[in-house]
Every structure is written in C-alpha cells, then in structure tokens.
Amino acid sequence: MTTSPLLVPPPPLIHLSGVTKTLKGQDEPRAILSGVDLTVHAGDSVAILGRSGSGKSTLLSLIGLFDRPDGGQYLLGDRDITKIPERKAAALRSAEFGFVFQRFFLLKHLTAAQNVAMALVNGQGWLPRRKRKAKVLAALERVGIGHLAKHKPPRLSGGEQQRVAIARALVREPRILLADEPTGALDTETGNLVVEVLRQATDVGCGLVLVTHDHDHAAKMGRVLHLSDGLLRPAGQRVVA
C-alpha cells in the first residue's frame, strides 16, 4: 500500500516536548517550566494564560530563542534547535519569528518607518533602500497606519505605537508571531483592535502565540492554554494532585 504525498501532514511550525527551565538567581534555583509540551502549526493561534510569575514570558523567550531550555526538545519545523548557538539563533529570530511586547520598545528618535525598518537593517542580509522602504510601507499599511510612517513615537497614541511594533514584527513576514501581553498597556477598545490585527496574521499562515491575562482576548484565539506549576494544559483542565 502506498501513501499519497498529499496526505502527509506538514511538520508543525514549532514543537516543544518536555521543555524545562530553572532560573538561577541570587536565591535558590527556581524551576519555572517543568516539562512543557506545545505544538503550533501554520495558521494556528494559541493563547497562553497564567498567573504572574507562572513562567509565560519565560516560555515565550524560549520559543523566541532569547534563551535556551535546560531540558526537553525544541523543534522548529523538523530541525532540532534545542541547543542552537547564539549566532544561528539570531539568524532564526530574524527569519522565522516576529515579536510584540507589552511595552512597545519603539526608539523615540526614529520615525515609525525607521522603527519598522529596524527589523530589516539587522545584519541578516541586505535590502536596497527602495525595496526596504516598500516593505516597510506595506507592513505599516497592513496594520492600518501607513499614513503615520513619518511620525515619531511620542506623537503616536498607545494603540498606534503598538501597531508600529506589530508592523516591525511582520515586516520580515515571519512564520511565527510571539506576542507577550501586547494589550497590557492599552485600553479595552484599542486592545481589541490590536488583538484583531495580530489574529489576522494567522489568516496568511502565520502561527501566533499570545501570552495574555485577558480572557476575552484569549477567547479569540484558536486554542487557549493555561500555564501553572510549570506545565501547560488546555484551559479549564483541572490539575489533579
């Protein structure tokens, strides 16, 4: 019996299995993640809920290759990147991931367009000025603020600033978008708008992992997971002692 290639499912964008992380500070080492399993496919949107200090941001920083897990396995596509060196991780962050943070992290001295272009002028390949400009404008248009390209962050509202940050995350057309409480500094209405912009990215096949405290925003995602005691479970599932 032969299997048609069309029936073979594509590998997930990311697959974490048994990932552990212990934070070693001045105090006693503290286990933050104790065996997290997570799979995200193209077009998936995943919300991660959890109390403050539960390890949501740590998990996101592991997924985004800001940090490396102590144990477990992390596959990007079918490539094992659990122990990837920093030089290669930087290239992957540039090519595969887009990041949106609670604080927008925009540079005040640069215009909105220049802030977006930051993701293109990062030493990972070189785009001529004209192509760069076109990509930046397209990203800003995509989040609905193309007309604000020449404005500097202090002249933009919180929602506009966050959309600039989203445009920066999208400009390289990443395969996975990681958002760490992107609506934390916004009012409800603006927050809804921002979440909608993020969710729209999944329509073109981008995977989205959203860390949030807001259950309404989480409910707009395809899957809702809850991080507690270092483990990731579907929301609503009780922890059995």
Among 90, 137, 138, 185, binds other proteins (CB under 8 A): 90
Q: How many binding residues for other proteins (CB under 8 A)?
A: 31
Residue 51 or 188: which CB sits closer to other proteins? 51
In angstroms, give the least distance from the CB of 93 to other proteins.
4
Q: Among residue numbers 220 through 239, which ones bind other proteins (CB under 8 A)?
A: none
| Strand arrangement, sheet containing 79-80 | 30-40, 14-23, 71-76, 79-80
Q: Among residue numbers 112 through 151, which ones bind other proteins (CB under 8 A)?
A: 114, 118-119, 121-126
Stretch that binds other proteins, among 31-39, 99-107, 154-162, 231-239 (CB under 8 A): 99-107
In angstroms, give the least distance from the CB of 8 to other proteins.
31
Provide the CA 204 distance to its chain's centre, in angstroms: 15
Taking alpha carbons only, the member of 182, 188, 138, 176 closest to residue 163 is 182
Among 112, 149, 156, 180, binds other proteins (CB under 8 A): 180
Cβ proximity of 115 and 179 under 8 Å: no
Residue 12 or 55: which CB sits closer to other proteins? 55
In angstroms, give the least distance from the CB of 140 to other proteins.
16
Among 93, 142, 163, 175, binds other proteins (CB under 8 A): 93
In angstroms, give the least distance from the CB of 43 to other proteins.
23
Taking alpha carbons only, the member of 19, 56, 55 closest to residue 182 is 56
Span between the terminal Cα atoms of the chain, in Å: 46
By CB under 8 A, tell whether 109 contacts other proteins. Answer: yes
By CB under 8 A, tell whether 5 contacts other proteins. Answer: no
How far is residue 18's CA from residue 36's CA, in Å, rounded to a whole number? 5
Which residue, chain included where needed, has tokens 């409480």? 181
How far is residue 220's CA from residue 66's CA, in Å, rounded to a whole number? 27
Taking alpha carbons only, the member of 153, 162, 154 closest to residue 104 is 162
By CB under 8 A, tell whether 107 contacts other proteins. Answer: yes
How far is residue 103's CA from residue 126's CA, in Å, rounded to a whole number? 28
Q: Which residues bind other proteins (CB under 8 A)?
A: 57-58, 61, 64, 66-67, 86-87, 90-95, 99, 101, 105, 107, 109-110, 114, 118-119, 121-126, 168, 180
